[in-house]
């Protein structure tokens, strides 16, 4: 589709939020090529909205090109797109052998664009009704987009550990502290530090860098869970950034009392033995901070020692956290927010609940449905 028509240049007198139709197309403006002009104005508005979220220019341009490809595929403009177009586009990409993850990314980018157009605050429905007698809607839904390919879709090295495997791993971590201490060798404090670090990664569902960059001041109490004391929540300051954006912050609430006790013991009793000069939660003998790579190397050492799959990395602890919370009855949205995921479908990749959990969930639902009424 070509570019044509005129988009008003003076924005100073236009009402509306950034990216809105009223900032880009003045009411009553005569367009020489209305369909192409409105489409280009929509893309311009969406790009402005994404810039306001501090996304990188390359990311914005890449997403815009995906939207253009979808428009070219359908031969229609956004206000005429339908869910059937999405299904045909997906089928065409599958037929060409496009990777599952790539299709997901294409769908997500175009879905974000449709969501922007369908948001009444941006008033694109008014422009489309005025010029074309139609308005754009969201055409990407759970039932016509890529979500799951299998029960566990993630990388094999990130699969959740069973509870038995996890217990064996933590048992080895603790035993290692005792072994090094009993041998009289230097390093028992580092072994204790590493054991606690792995427990924190699991018990708060953290990524490697998120855990590595924690400070002692990142912990705080949670009035809704006073039983955890000053370790009721942790502030994650170096969360995974959206493409082109800064690190995302989030607060992760404590759900496991034993983990809060482990952190308390480390911070209050053992960490001071390092005589740290800063606030790094995981200091080294040289008063540096344990790096993500060092964390991975130590995990691999312990993994191999107990015979776990050599493909497994520390990220599997985060996946285990998500799976185990769901199996324990926590709400899916709660787990999603704890992990810092923008999309529920991402959380779904992380989890692989067992048959026992599914049967228990079925039993609870049936018991509720057929519970006799009481006066």
What's the confidence (pLDDT) of residue 19? 62
Active site residue 350: yes
Segments making up each domain of the chain, as ranges: 21-144, 156-366
What's the confidence (pLDDT) of residue 179? 82
Which one is catalytic: 318, 319, 321, 324?
Answer: 318
The span from the CA of 315 to the CA of 160, in Å, is: 9
Which one is catalytic: 315, 319, 321, 324?
Answer: 315
What's the confidence (pLDDT) of residue 372? 62
* CB neighbours of residue 68 within 10 Å: 14
How far does CA 14 lie from the centroid of its chain? 36
**What is residue 31's DSSP assignment?**
P
DSSP 105-163: HHHHHHHHHHHHHH-GGG-HHHHHHHHHS--------GGGS---SSSS-S-GGGPPPPH
The class level of CATH for 156-366 reads mainly alpha
Bridge partner residues of 251 (DSSP): 235
Active site residue 172: no
Active site residue 243: yes
70-106 pLDDT tens trace: 999 999 999 999 999 999 999 999 899 887 768 877 8
Active site residue 207: yes
What's the confidence (pLDDT) of residue 348? 62
What's the confidence (pLDDT) of residue 350? 59
Q: 217 to each of 193, 220, 235, 279, how far by Cα in Å?
A: 17, 8, 9, 7
The span from the CA of 81 to the CA of 137, in Å, is: 8
For 95, residues 6+ apart whose C-beta sits below 8 A from its C-beta are none
Phi first, then psi: give them for residue 231, nearest 5 degrees. Answer: -115, 40
> In the chain, where do the E strands start and end?
219-220, 233-239, 248-253
Contact assessment for residue 145 and residue 126, using Cβ atoms and an 8 Å cutoff: no
The span from the CA of 70 to the CA of 361, in Å, is: 40
Which one is catalytic: 104, 207, 289, 303?
Answer: 207
Active site residue 62: no
Which one is catalytic: 243, 249, 287, 364?
Answer: 243
Active site residue 141: no
Residue with tokens 């090295």: 157
What's the confidence (pLDDT) of residue 50? 83
What's the confidence (pLDDT) of residue 332? 84
What's the confidence (pLDDT) of residue 364? 63
Which ranges of the chain have pLDDT less than 70? 1-19, 26-29, 53-54, 101, 147-157, 242-243, 342-366, 368-375
């Amino acid at each position: 589709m070509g570019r044509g028509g005129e988009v008003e240049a003076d924005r100073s007198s236009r009402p509306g939020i950034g990216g809105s139709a009223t900032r880009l197309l003045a009411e009553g403006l005569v367009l020489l090529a209305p369909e192409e002009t409105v489409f280009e104005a929509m893309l311009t508005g969406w790009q402005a909205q994404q810039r306001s979220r501090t996304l990188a220019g390359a990311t914005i341009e890449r997403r815009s090109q995906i939207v253009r490809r979808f428009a070219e595929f359908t031969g229609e403009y956004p206000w005429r797109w339908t869910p059937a177009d999405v299904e045909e586009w997906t089928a065409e990409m599958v037929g060409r052998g496009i990777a599952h993850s790539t299709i997901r990314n294409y769908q997500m980018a175009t879905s974000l664009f449709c969501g922007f157009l369908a948001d009444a605050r941006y008033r694109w429905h008014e422009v489309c009704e005025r010029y074309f007698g139609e308005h754009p809607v969201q055409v990407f839904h759970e039932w016509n987009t890529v979500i799951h390919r299998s029960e566990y879709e993630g990388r094999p090295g990130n699969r959740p550990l069973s509870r038995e495997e996890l217990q064996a791993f933590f048992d080895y971590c603790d035993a290692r502290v005792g072994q090094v201490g009993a041998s009289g060798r230097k390093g028992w404090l580092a072994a204790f530090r590493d054991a606690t670090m792995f427990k924190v990664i699991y018990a708060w569902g953290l990524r490697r860098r998120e855990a590595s960059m924690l400070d002692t001041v990142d912990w705080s109490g949670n009035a809704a869970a006073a039983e955890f004391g000053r370790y009721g929540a942790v502030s994650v300051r170096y969360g995974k950034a959206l493409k082109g954006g800064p690190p995302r912050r989030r607060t992760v609430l404590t759900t496991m009392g034993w983990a809060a006790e482990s952190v308390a013991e480390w911070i209050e009793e053992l960490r001071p033995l390092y005589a740290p000069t800063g606030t790094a939660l995981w200091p080294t003998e040289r008063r540096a901070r344990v790096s993500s790579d060092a964390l991975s190397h130590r995990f691999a050492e312990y993994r191999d020692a107990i015979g776990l799959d050599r493909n497994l990395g520390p990220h599997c602890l985060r996946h285990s956290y998500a799976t185990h919370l769901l199996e324990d009855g926590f709400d899916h949205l709660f787990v999603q927010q704890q992990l810092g995921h923008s999309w529920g479908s991402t959380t779904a990749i992380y989890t692989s609940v067992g048959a026992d959990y599914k049967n228990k969930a079925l039993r609870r639902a049936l018991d509720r449905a057929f519970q006799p009424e009481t006066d």
